[in-house]
Amino acid sequence: MSRTHMLRSLALVGLIGGLTAAAEAGDLKPLFDVEARRLEMGKPAKPSACKATPAPVRDIRLEGFYSDSNSSIVDPAAYARY
């Protein structure tokens, strides 16, 4: 592990530890009214129906549609299959 990588890792650990301690101490103040947001957003979501699940992909074809080795000339029949 390089010295720079190690220093960055230690700085990140320190930052996370400091933020966790601040959150536990209650020092973080939100920029908005938390209770108002909870009243507005705390309502249950409306039920929704999902569409039927499509059939799984069973075969992936990785054939190209070019007729030359430089991939510059399109083969019309192969392109139609593609």
Q: Is the Cβ–Cβ distance between 65 and 81 less than 8 Å?
A: yes
- Residue 23 has a pLDDT of 63
**Six-digit token string for 73:** 């000339």
Name the 3-class secondary structure at 66. Answer: strand
| One-letter amino acid of 25 | A
- Per-residue model confidence as pLDDT tens digits over 6-61: 888 877 777 676 666 666 666 778 788 888 888 888 777 677 788 888 888 888 87
Residues in the chain: 82
